[in-house]
Structure 1
């Protein structure tokens, strides 16, 4: 899925529309948000002159005073319009030119208003939307004539529900037909292979956790020096925890849903008659299970978001998920520049990262230097005193 937002500065020129059509076709865009169309009326014939697909649906806000016009076009096979809210200032608040920055680092050589930044950030907070960091470029708009003023005023604001469903990346591309760069929101479908093992704090809530770790540790017998013994033991514990997580502790969402559904089935029964002893016991067990799985789910996303606080009594799992997704997007390695060439293939990126650090830590000495000489050492009496427990007088 690929979405694009673009301040095109007018649709009057046929040459500009042809150029836009080439860009949309090249990027295989599913939905485009256009700002400053500068047209009082937009015909379907004009739309086909800039849309590359064989099908389309659209919403238009025409030129009206200071509002320069908005246009949204999409593929009906990719999106189905259920509700539409628009006026002279916005269409379907998903992405576009907001003409405002969030911090002073998003503007260079331009005047800035502290009040406007504060109001914009407050608006984002109240709407409960998330902005993904843009890759490829720092600024979006430039005054074409002088090239000395830069701003980041175009952006995508996403609902946390979208982050639950898709793995999005936001890319900034070069300016083509206006002073604004292309901003593309696309789903990252690249395969990075299995992730490295990570310990999940929620595991310690399970009563079997300690016994699983202890069993894997004790059953792994290694006859070697002490430093080497720990490696195969940790490897065995990791394998046991991964298998145990898939069989018992994994799929928290499914187990939570099953417990909640069974608990809800008892509600209509309790309304029609008194529950018997067995049903009362089962309802109490289900309530405990729902509480247990809800707590594990919240702990899981709290750890992934790496927040240093919890909201007491508030099951804000969606908030933790949005923070974790944003952090993952910010820290991920999306591309590398090697010898002037941009590489995005995960396989080649891994090879280049391996080659870089291998050269960085490669030891060139064939024979390591040795330290010789006469050194002073402590005696047996001093050793005993150093290893002795603290006395009450010393404390």
Structure 2
């Protein structure tokens, strides 16, 4: 085929793909309630024209026609700034664009497979850096990009930042289908996760399609595109139930001495606070089960003594104090389990795992009857609680009076006698052999 025939063939295939995409888009719009006052066919054709125009502008840009006018046409107005990475022989060409009124450009760095733009976000009034990645398929080149991005990240620690684009790598085997797995895939997954973890980045979840790349015939697919942002600072709700916790945080925060601008100071203080909160959690919340057992054991000892002789006034007050401590510990445990269930549901699901059993334990704890109200007074005496529960259930489920309803005249369908006898026969050796 001649060059002109090849170009015409590609254009025809591109037009067919555009038409198919626009038609599907219109069908989705109709299902969502979109209406058209004119001819729907003309609307679809106009949408195809606009799509062709944008695609042509982008192709021209990537092929070398990269004037401001092309960017204005692609963006829609002239309030746009841009940086372009040529890639290698046109492959891996990348374009980063931003609204000039929303983002004030300061500087940029262009390297093999990435564009890093530094600027000031107007609305939030903070300095930030956006890294646009287009990684190659070669494993060593991917690692090189990750190393450079990590270096840029360390240089701009005082800025809010985001790293996004096509990383050409997956974080687990489930993110890639229809592609043969080997040892290099496992190493790449491990290296990519190390890159994300070492930079304290959060892989933001996507909505809609699970995969972002599809082979033309649909036989293979992967999630290659993603947005990585700074990992947020997290706390445990149950910490707020601990007396003195807020004072501890306030005192620790005021004791930290760090240098830098306001953003750097906040970030470094959060790092130090994280270490102190880990120690606090380990010493205070790391043994809730043991603490509960000790409280219950002391309550039980007092109850046994009360059965032999009356408790002294101080012992009665001690028991009330222990019951109050027990409720507080159980409230902390309930809060911990609930928060863990919320944060890990997506990751672990409802499988037969440690998380599953923890959730079941939390439900069991939540549903536990700790006491009942008797004669307008709260009672937690085990034997009295059992008697009251038994009385309530007996009252609730006792037999109702005979209402005279009989089913003797109703004919129920039943199996013939020979079939019934067949069902209780002993299996023969031949039947067992055939089944096995």
> Which one has the largest radius of gyration?
2
Q: If the length of structure 2 is used for normalisation, what is the TM-score?
A: 0.31
Q: If the length of structure 1 is used for normalisation, what is the TM-score?
A: 0.33
User: Which structure has greater helix proportion?
Assistant: 2
Greater relative contact order (Cα < 8 A, sep 6+): 1
